[in-house]
Amino acid sequence: MDKPRMSRRVALTTALAGVAAAPAAGAADRRAEAEATLRAFLHAFENDDLAAMEGAFAPDAVSFDVVVASPEASSPLARDAVRRKPGMPPVMRRLVQSTPKAASGPPYRKLDPKDLLVQTEGEMALCTFHLELPTSLARRTVVLVRRSGTWKILHIHASNVVTA
């Protein structure tokens, strides 16, 4: 093979390799941005920064409020209590509003996501993790959407499982 042809082939192969690597780098960047958004929200929650928490949600966000699953449940849950709600989960808001603000805080609680997995597809990110509490495992799913270059929470699903 002559040198000009070989040079073109090398140049084309190099260019194609760069194009193939670009989407992978973009996906890694999106995952990192989505994770940073999630962690900023958790930090605001730790500090009871209700304004920052509310600002983290997309205008069309929905949530499933925390439900505690336990074999010792004394009575069935009311259906309306477990239906989808607009915006931030009501229990989350009530917790922030009812936390006594002591001189020792903020932070008022420690939220350390364990087994965090952030998966992205286009402009959406699915974040799953759990929080290890003294008597339960708090499972969380957070869906983020990127609009106009900014990640916002589109959905939160929270469930706590009582553990031994």
For residue 93, give the CATH number of its domain: 3.10.450.50
Q: DSSP string of 108-159?
A: -S----EEEEEEEETTEEEEEEEEE-SSEEEEEEEEEEEETTEEEEEEEEEE
Q: Three-state DSSP class for 51?
A: helix
Instruction: Provide the number of structural domains found in the chain.
Output: 1
Label the pairing between strands 150-162 and 57-69: parallel
CA distance 58 to 61: 5
pLDDT > 90: percent of the chain = 53
Burial (0-12, 13-18, 19+ Cβ within 10 Å), 41: buried
Lowest mean pLDDT among 25-29, 44-48, 140-144, 155-159: 25-29
Task: Note down the domain range covering 107.
Answer: 3-162
C-alpha 131 chain-centroid distance: 13
Q: What is the pLDDT of residues 41-63, one digit of tens each?
A: 999 999 999 999 999 999 999 99
pTM, whole model, 2 decimals? 0.79
Closest residue by Cα to residue 77 from 68, 90, 64: 68
